[in-house]
Structure 1
Amino acid sequence: MNKFQAWIMAARPRTLPLALASIGMGAFLAASADLFSWQVLLLSALTTIFLQVLSNLANDYGDSIHGADSADREGPTRAVQAGYISPKAMKQAMIIFGILSFASGLWLLLAALPGNQLLLFLFLLLGIAAIFAAITYTSGSKPYGYAGLGDLSVLLFFGIVGVLGSYYLHAQQLSWDHLLPALSCGLFSTAVLNVNNIRDIRTDEMAGKRSIPVRLGRSRAVTYHWMLLFSGILCSVCYVIVNFESWWQFLFVISLPLLIKNGRAVQHKKTSAALDPYLKQMALTTLLYVLTFGIGQLLV
């Protein structure tokens, strides 16, 4: 494997559709209210991509340093653990993508919130918190992912903050009921992480990484997974009931068979190799859910 291939592997492009899901949901909600901005969408997407790549690089570095990506790892190869990229080079790349994330986020806020210094400052703090969360998930002396707090972080940043924050930058307003599709995005994104953590349960336990599946055990982690999937659909159904105007708003149920397929795979497939493809499947299903949910709102 050459250096370019190693960096692409470390950036993990297959995670990018999931990262864009919350941005897409916020944009669809804004478009359904005739408050959509292409500039906000493109800059939000750029910032999100930089943040996701930063998170992936930090995860590669942190898990290798802390031992979760050891020679016993059963999931995909990590660049630092395999020796393709040095820890020093990975730290330098993390700094670069941290700067890119900050610069892109600042550009977004200056474009979306001109003249509103207080809101710009508050959103800037949220952006810094997102950068900090991306880096410290598995990196640093006390990575919160090793304490089992990754699920909460994903629910917050891939759901509530991602959807409501991006919607506000389009619309300059918020509505309480938008919390429901925001929670759906966050719950499905958390389900992606849960598939990852169930796959890695043995090596995570060996490394002292106390993820939710390590804490619960595989059987209860599967139950937790079904709860995430069911709760995500339930939040969406509740949103449509509250805002019902047309049956097109239930278009998102197209994603239901794929969610059930993912839940059954997590329940029945016991090896890491068999379970790994369902990480990508759940990420793409989340993106499909966002597209069908959003289109359904636009067809009203």
Structure 2
Amino acid sequence: MELTILRSIAGGSLAFVVAIGAWTGSRLTRDTAMEVETLLATEVDAKTAQKQAMASKAQYKESPAYYKTRVDAAVEAFGIEPPNMDRLRAPNPFHHPINMSDPKRIEPGQARREGPLSIAVRAEQRTIERGGMRTKNMHTYARVLNTAKVPVAYRLLMRKAEAGECQLRNVNRYDAVVLDPGERIDISICSGKQAVEVLDLRMLEITGIGAIWVDKIPAQALALDPTSVKAHDPGEDVQPCTSLPAAELAKSIERGEFAWEDLVDYYSRHDCEEYRFWSGYRRLEAPAEGLPLLDPTGDPDAG
């Protein structure tokens, strides 16, 4: 009787252990299956992963942290002083003293000061090379001087005051986009002794790093006259941004979709290798809250 009772107890215990084991095993199996399903759900194919990585990279390139790396890179590459970030966010002083509706005439031997730039007209004997032949002729030049203590981006449209196209011009090389503090250039007007008519003059006082970035804009994009485009020389260290749609930007300026100063103001704050101007941007008249400034529509083809 006692033996039978012991056997019954042992059998019941074994059955209980087996039952517990079966329940535990099934619970572990279910938990493991759930973990596997979770892991499988988080797996992505290579194409999706690439898209996610590119999206993260794009977000980083739009961040203030990445913008600061571009500033630091320019400072190191060109050996300039680090810019004051508050100044980069601030409005650039803008001058537009002469426009097409009221051009100004400057006689040979006379000078005119407009904002930070001084324009003096000189007629001198110069050697001109044309068709492989060198001749010495009287030639009229406009000598332009930046009197400011900061770089000045400028758009200066001029021609000889008397009617008729210039038949002979000695095209010399100079920076037709930005003048450094104290920089002086001679702009060829035409052969002979001529009065000069200034048709349009726009100026933005910008930062040192802004001068480098603005000089990277192709001259063809700024709606300059053909002679200025041909003469433009930003220097050996400055490589223009070939990805900019230069012809379309110039046409947009000429159509009045935005102004020269809007385009230049934007790129005085942004490296055109990394950031894209959009047609809705306007020259800052109040400090920006932060940099970079990006197209609010998110259009990658803006500008």
The TM tier, using the shorter chain, reads under 0.3
Larger gyration radius, structure 1 or structure 2: 2
Report the structure, 1 or 2, having the larger strand content: 2
Could you say which structure has the greater relative contact order, defined with CA pairs below 8 angstroms and 6 or more residues apart? 1
Q: Which protein is richer in helix relative to its size?
A: 1
TM-score, L = length of structure 2:
0.22
